[in-house]
Amino acid sequence: MDINLVVFIAATFLLAGFVKGVIGLGLPTIAIGILGVAMAPAQAAALLAVPNIVTNGWQIARGPGLAGIIRRLWPMLAGICIGIFAGAGLLEQQKNGGATLWLGLALIAYALIGLKAARLHVPTRFEPWLAPLVGLATGVATAATGVFVLPAVPYMQALGLDKDELVQALGLSFLVSTLALSVGLIGMGTLDWRIGAWSLLALAPALAGMAAGTALRGRISASAFKLCFFAGLLALGAYLVWRSLG
């Protein structure tokens, strides 16, 4: 890689890490969208492997109660893995950005609903059968786009978790998605030791950005966090649409 590309990648991960620190998500969405200017989506997803694993591990470790989150979310997490493996190769085949366009439009719609204070709620009795379906759909969407957001994020937000629980749940979901997607990328030959080395180097700016964003999140109220959360989703969705049409 030449120096200009290295600086471009570092700046991308710094920005993406900051957004993730503030609202608990956005690292792969922003990074794949921006890096798509210089490389294929599958290559960008491979470059994200180490930063995704480490930043989501950090996000999980800072949460209030991992055991309870795992017990509640494991059916969804299992569905994510199945969906990613079932959709293996879709990211490599993506050429026209169609999957990314629909993902962006769905994010915009969900963010607008949230900003208008329309509260989504999943009754506890629905979770045993709904969680695996949400996970399966999220896995297939991840396999096609490299982004881990829909429909898992709206589902987790509708569970009634508080700010810190939601951020921890997001980290757990994204970590499982990253590990499953990385296995698929290794199988396709897209993620090898050379890309792994560059992915390790991308970790430093991602962590720096996330540290700054996490510090900011600690200073804002629950209502301000909710506003930032949905505004962030709206911006991410608009960016994905712009990138797919550009």
Provide the residue-wise pLDDT of the chain in tens; the chain has 246 residues.
688 889 999 999 999 899 888 888 888 878 887 887 778 778 888 999 999 999 999 889 887 889 999 999 999 999 999 999 998 777 766 655 666 777 788 778 878 877 776 677 899 999 999 999 999 999 998 888 888 888 998 899 899 888 889 989 999 999 999 999 999 889 888 889 999 999 999 999 999 999 998 898 888 887 888 788 788 878 888 887 887 786
**In contact, 214 and 56? CB cutoff 8 Å:** no
Tokens describing residue 44: 């960008």
Distance CA 243, CA 19 (A): 18
pTM above 0.85, yes or no: no
**Number of domains the chain contains:** 1
Task: Please count the other Cβ atoms lying within 10 Å of the Cβ belonging to residue 3.
Answer: 7
Amino acid at site 154: P
Residue 97, sorted as left (phi over 0), alpha (psi -120 to 50) or beta, turns out to be left
Residue range(s) defining the domain that contains residue 65: 3-245
Cα torsion 122, 124, 126, 127: sign: positive
**In contact, 10 and 205? CB cutoff 8 Å:** yes
Instruction: List CB contacts of 154: < 8 A, sequence separation 6 or more.
Output: 110, 120
